[in-house]
C-alpha cells in the first residue's frame, strides 16, 4: 500500500484511490498522468482485490502501453497486467475470441499499409489501372473515407457476401474508385483480412448482433480507464459507452488543450461535455507540471490562454527556475537553420548529448534547409519519418515468413515464396493465381494441389511446402523468438542477406529478434505467434525509437506524448504555423493547441524561431501570431523586430481573424439569391465555395461567373429586400 501511494501529490492520490463510478481527470501537460494511471491499476489489484483480467486500460500507442505494463509490474510484482492496450489492440483480443460470430476464422489477418498496397497492386494489374488513375496513398485515403462516410455499413456486405459475390461486384465496377473499393473488399474477404478501420467496426457489429457476447465483455471489464481522452473519435466513443454500460466504472484522463487530431475524427467536446453524458461525474484537476521549467510553463500558459474552447486552467510549475524561452527572428530560412545549428553546437560543447536535442516543425518539408545546413556543419541528425523500422524490406520479409507459417495468406506467399530464389517466377505465379481464382482457394493451397504438375519441375516448390508445414507444427511448441530464428535460418533468408553483404539489414533482423524477445517478456503467456503478428501490424511511427547520438527532427504531431530536454520549434511563420489551410476559428484554435503541445515537450530549454522571405505562392512571410500570443516579458528576443514588420504582421493577423469570424458566421447568401456589388453591379449567386470562403456569382454585365470573396461588400438586390 505504501509503495503504491508513495510520492503521489494530493490530486494524484485522489485519482488513484477513486474506484467506483464515473471520473474525469483533466491532466495538464507533464502532470504525471501515466503515473496516476499505473498506480491506480496497481491500487485496484493490490488493495481492492480486482482481477487484472477485469481491467481495461486504453492508451493511444503501443509504446505507451508497454511503458504502463512495465510500471505496473514494478508496483505489483505480477506479470498479469490485464488489457493494457490501444483500442485497436483490444479489439484484436475481442475478435480473436469471438470473430466466429460473423463466420470469420480466429486466424484472421490484421492488415497494415504494406499489405493494403500489395492488394492494390493486384487490383491495378488485374483491372489495368495505373497511378494516373489514383496513387496508392490516395486510394488508401479514399477507401478509409468510403468506409467511414460513404459506405459506413460496408462490413455488413463483407460479412454477408461470399468472396465470389464480392468478386462479381468488383469485376462489374466501372469507375476507378468503385473498382478499387470493391476490389479491396474482395481481397480482404478472400484472406479474411481486417484493416485498422475494420477492427472497431467488427467488434461493435458483433456486440450489436450478439447480446450474449456483448454482456460477457461488459461483465468481464469491471474497471475501464482511458488515457488521452481528448483524442477519442466517434467509433471509439461508441465502443467505450457499450463496454462500461454494465459496471458503470469509467475513469478518463485527458487535456482539452492537447486536442490535435480533429482531422481524423477526434472531438474536444467528448472530454468537455463528459459530465453531461454521464451521471454523477466527479472531476479531478491535475495541474502541477513536473516536466518543464517555470519559464517554459509560463510561455505555454500565455499561448493557450488565447483559445476560447477550453477549460480555463493554468499549469503550475514545480521545478526550479531555468533558462529563458528564446525567440530568434532570422532574415532567411538558411540563417534560421544556421542559428539553430550554432546553438546546438554550443549546447553540445557544454555537455548536452545530441540525443537530448529535438527540432520540431509543423510539416516535414521544413526539414530540407535544416538538413542541408546540418550536413555542411557536420551535425548528426535523425528524421523521425520516412521508412519506419517495421516497414523495412527485410523486416516485412521476416514477418511474412512468420505469417505464412501461421496463416498461409496470399500476401505473405506472394512476398516470400521466391525469396530466396526458388524458381517460382512470374509465369508460375500467374499459373497459381489463375488456379486459385478458378478453384476459390489460396495461393498456398493452389501450390499444394498442383506441386506435381510439370510446371513446377526444377523448382524448390516442394521444399517451400515442407518448410511451412514443418514450422506450422512447431508454432505451439516453440517461443516466437526461437521460431523466428530457426525460420530465418532454414528458409535461407539470412544466408541470402549475408551473401549480399547486407550488414545493415542483418542488424535490423537482429533488432527484430530482440523486439520479439521483449514482446515475450512483456506479455508472458499471451505471447503467441498470432498475438505477436497482430501487435506488429498495429505498430505506429510513434513506437519507433533510435538510440543514436544525434539531433532528432520531427513534426509536432509525431512528438505528441514525448518529452525532450532541449526543444527548438522552427518555422513559426504565418501560413506555415499556423497553416495557411486554416479557414475556421475552430481550426485556428487547433493550430494553437498544436503549438502548445510543442511548447510543453521541452524540459530544460525552449527556443522559438522564424524566418523572413517569401512562400511558394509569392506571399510574404510574417512572424506567427503564436509568438505574439506570448507576453513580450516571457520571451527573450535575440534581436528587436523592425517596428514596421511588427505593424504589418499585426494588420495581416487582424485581417485574417476577421476572415475567420466571417467564416464562423457562415455565408450571408445562398444559390439563387440576387446581389449587388458596388463595382461589378447586379448578379446572381450560382454556388458557394466553402473551402475558399467565396461565392460564385454570375454578374449581369459579365459573360462568365466570377468567384467573389465573402469578405467583399455584397448587398441583397432591392427586389429581395
For the beta carbon of residue 562, count every other beta carbon within 10 angstroms. 16
Is 348 labelled as part of a ligand binding site?
no
φ and ψ at residue 702, rounded to 5 degrees: -125, 135
C-alpha cell at 482: 526461437
In the residue annotation, 332 being an active-site residue is answered as no
Q: Is 27 annotated for ligand binding?
A: yes
**CA atoms of 186 and 166, how far apart (whole Å):** 5
| DSSP reduced 3-state for 174 | coil
Q: Which of 33, 146, 415, 422 is catalytic?
A: 33
CA dihedral of residues 710, 713, 718, 721 (deg, nearest 10):
60
Q: Among 619, 593, 10, 684, which residue's Cα sits nearest to residue 286?
A: 10
Tell me whether residue 81 is one of the annotated catalytic residues: no
144 alpha carbon, distance to own chain's centre = 14
Torsion angles phi and psi, residue 620, rounded to 5: -80, 150
Residue 545: closest CA among 531, 562, 567: 562
636 included as an active-site residue:
no
Task: Give the whole-angstrom CA distance, residue 261 versus residue 267.
Answer: 8
Q: Are the C-beta atoms of residues 325 and 354 closer than 8 Å to each other?
A: no
- Report the candidate in 307, 360, 407, 286 with the shortest Cα–Cα distance to residue 33: 286
Binding site annotation covers 32?
A: yes
The reply to whether 28 sits in an annotated binding site is yes
Positive or negative CA dihedral for 594, 596, 600, 606? Answer: positive
- End-to-end CA, the chain: 74
Choosing from 17, 34, 388, 450, which is the catalytic residue?
A: 34
Options 396, 460, 552, 601, the catalytic residue: 601
User: For the chain, how are helix, strand and coil distributed in percent, rounded to 5?
Assistant: 55, 15, 30
Is 29 marked as binding a ligand?
Answer: yes
* Cα angle, residue 415 at apex, residues 414 and 416 outer, rounded to 5°: 100
Q: Say whether the peptide bond before residue 578 is cis (omega within 30 degrees of 0).
A: yes
User: Was 137 annotated as part of a binding site?
Assistant: no
Is 228 a known active-site residue? yes
User: At 676, is the secondary structure helix, strand, or coil?
Assistant: strand
Pairing assessment for the beta strands 681-689 and 674-677 based on DSSP bridges? antiparallel
Which residue of the set 115, 188, 228, 589 is catalytic? Answer: 228
**Residue from 346, 253, 344, 377 nearest 552 by CA:** 344
CA distance 60 to 266: 12
The catalytic residue among 11, 227, 336, 589 is: 227
**Which cell is 82 given?**
490485464
Q: Does the annotation mark 34 as catalytic?
A: yes
Q: Which three cell numbers stand for residue 405?
A: 507459417
Spell 672-711 as b/e; 16+ CB within 10 A means b. ebebebeebeebbbeebeeeebbbbbebeeeeebeebebe
Question: Looking at 168-215, which runs of residues are DSSP E strands?
Answer: 193-194
CA distances for 321 relative to 324, 353, 634, angstroms: 9, 21, 13
Is 81 annotated as belonging to a binding site?
no
Per the CB < 8 A criterion, the answer to whether 304 and 310 are in contact is yes
Active site residue 555: no
Cβ neighbour number for residue 326 with a 10 Å cutoff: 17
Which residues have a catalytic role annotated?
33-34, 227-228, 258, 601
- List binding-site positions: 27-34
Residue ranges for the binding site for ATP?
Answer: 27-34
Amino acid at each position: 500500500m505504501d509503495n503504491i501511494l508513495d510520492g503521489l501529490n494530493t490530486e494524484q492520490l485522489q485519482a488513484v484511490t477513486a474506484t467506483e463510478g464515473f471520473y474525469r481527470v483533466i491532466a495538464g501537460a507533464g502532470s504525471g498522468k501515466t503515473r496516476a494511471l499505473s498506480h491506480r491499476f496497481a491500487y485496484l489489484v493490490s488493495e481492492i482485490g480486482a482481477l487484472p483480467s477485469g481491467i481495461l486500460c486504453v492508451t493511444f500507442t503501443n509504446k505507451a502501453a508497454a511503458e504502463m505494463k512495465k510500471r505496473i509490474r514494478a508496483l505489483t510484482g505480477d506479470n498479469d497486467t490485464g488489457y493494457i492496450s490501444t483500442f485497436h489492440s483490444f479489439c484484436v483480443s475481442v475478435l480473436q475470441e469471438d470473430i466466429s460470430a460473423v463466420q470469420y476464422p480466429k486466424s484472421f489477418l490484421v492488415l497494415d499499409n504494406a499489405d493494403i498496397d500489395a492488394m492494390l497492386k493486384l487490383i491495378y494489374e488485374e483491372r489495368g489501372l495505373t497511378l494516373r488513375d489514383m496513387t496508392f496513398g490516395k486510394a488508401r485515403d479514399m477507401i478509409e473515407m468510403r468506409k467511414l462516410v460513404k459506405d459506413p455499413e460496408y462490413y455488413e456486405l463483407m460479412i454477408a457476401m461470399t468472396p465470389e459475390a464480392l468478386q462479381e461486384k468488383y469485376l462489374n465496377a466501372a469507375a476507378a474508385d468503385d473498382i478499387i473499393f470493391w476490389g479491396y473488399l474482395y481481397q480482404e474477404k478472400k484472406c479474411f483480412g481486417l484493416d485498422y478501420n475494420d477492427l472497431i467496426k467488427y467488434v461493435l457489429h458483433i456486440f450489436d448482433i450478439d447480446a450474449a457476447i456483448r454482456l460477457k465483455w461488459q461483465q468481464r471489464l469491471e474497471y475501464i480507464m482511458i488515457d488521452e481522452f481528448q483524442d477519442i473519435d466517434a467509433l471509439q466513443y461508441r465502443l467505450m459507452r457499450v463496454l462500461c454500460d454494465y459496471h458503470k466504472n469509467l475513469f478518463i484522463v485527458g487535456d482539452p488543450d492537447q486536442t490535435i487530431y480533429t482531422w481524423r475524427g477526434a472531438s474536444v467536446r467528448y472530454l468537455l461535455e463528459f459530465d453531461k453524458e454521464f451521471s454523477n461525474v466527479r472531476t479531478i484537476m491535475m495541474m502541477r507540471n513536473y516536466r518543464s521549467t517555470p519559464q517554459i510553463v509560463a510561455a505555454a500558459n500565455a499561448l493557450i490562454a488565447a483559445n476560447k474552447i477550453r477549460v480555463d486552467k493554468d499549469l503550475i510549475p514545480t521545478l526550479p527556475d531555468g533558462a529563458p524561452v528564446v525567440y530568434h527572428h532570422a532574415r532567411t530560412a538558411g540563417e534560421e537553420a544556421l542559428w539553430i545549428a550554432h546553438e546546438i553546437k554550443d549546447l553540445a560543447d557544454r555537455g548536452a548529448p545530441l540525443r537530448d536535442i529535438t527540432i520540431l516543425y509543423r510539416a516535414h518539408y521544413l526539414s530540407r534547409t535544416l538538413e542541408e545546413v546540418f550536413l555542411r556543419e557536420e551535425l548528426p541528425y535523425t528524421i523521425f519519418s520516412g521508412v519506419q523500422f517495421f516497414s523495412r524490406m527485410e523486416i516485412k520479409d521476416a514477418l511474412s515468413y512468420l505469417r505464412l507459417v501461421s496463416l498461409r495468406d496470399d500476401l505473405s506467399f506472394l512476398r516470400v515464396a521466391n525469396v530466396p530464389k526458388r524458381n517460382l517466377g512470374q509465369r508460375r505465379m500467374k499459373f497459381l493465381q489463375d488456379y486459385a481464382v478458378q478453384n476459390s482457394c489460396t495461393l498456398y493451397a493452389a501450390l499444394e494441389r498442383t506441386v506435381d504438375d510439370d510446371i513446377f519441375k526444377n523448382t524448390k516448390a516442394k521444399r517451400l511446402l515442407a518448410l511451412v508445414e514443418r514450422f506450422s507444427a512447431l508454432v505451439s511448441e516453440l517461443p516466437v523468438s526461437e521460431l523466428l530464428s530457426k525460420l530465418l535460418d532454414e528458409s535461407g533468408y539470412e544466408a541470402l542477406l549475408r551473401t549480399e553483404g547486407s550488414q545493415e539489414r542483418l542488424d535490423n533482423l537482429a533488432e527484430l529478434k530482440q523486439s520479439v524477445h521483449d514482446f515475450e517478456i512483456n506479455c508472458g503467456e499471451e505471447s503467441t505467434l498470432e498475438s505477436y503478428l497482430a501487435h506488429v501490424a498495429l505498430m505506429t511511427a510513434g513506437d519507433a525509437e533510435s538510440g543514436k547520438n544525434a539531433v532528432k527532427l520531427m513534426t509536432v504531431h509525431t512528438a505528441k506524448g514525448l518529452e525532450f530536454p532541449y526543444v527548438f520549434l522552427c518555422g513559426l511563420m504565418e501560413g506555415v504555423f499556423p497553416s495557411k489551410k486554416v479557414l475556421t476559428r475552430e481550426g485556428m484554435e487547433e493550430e494553437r493547441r498544436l503549438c502548445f503541445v510543442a511548447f510543453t515537450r521541452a524540459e530544460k530549454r525552449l527556443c522559438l524561431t522564424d524566418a523572413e522571405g517569401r512562400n511558394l505562392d509569392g506571399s510574404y512571410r510574417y512572424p506567427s501570431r503564436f509568438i505574439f500570443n506570448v507576453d513580450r516579458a516571457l520571451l527573450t528576443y535575440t534581436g528587436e523586430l523592425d517596428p514596421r514588420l511588427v505593424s504589418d504582421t499585426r494588420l495581416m493577423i487582424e485581417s485574417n481573424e476577421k476572415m475567420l469570424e466571417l467564416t464562423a458566421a457562415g455565408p450571408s447568401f445562398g444559390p439563387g439569391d440576387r446581389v449587388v456589388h458596388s463595382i461589378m453591379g447586379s448578379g446572381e449567386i450560382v454556388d458557394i465555395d466553402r473551402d475558399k470562403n467565396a461565392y460564385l456569382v454570375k454578374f449581369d454585365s459579365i459573360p462568365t461567373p466570377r468567384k467573389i470573396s465573402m469578405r467583399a461588400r455584397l448587398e441583397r438586390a432591392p427586389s429581395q429586400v
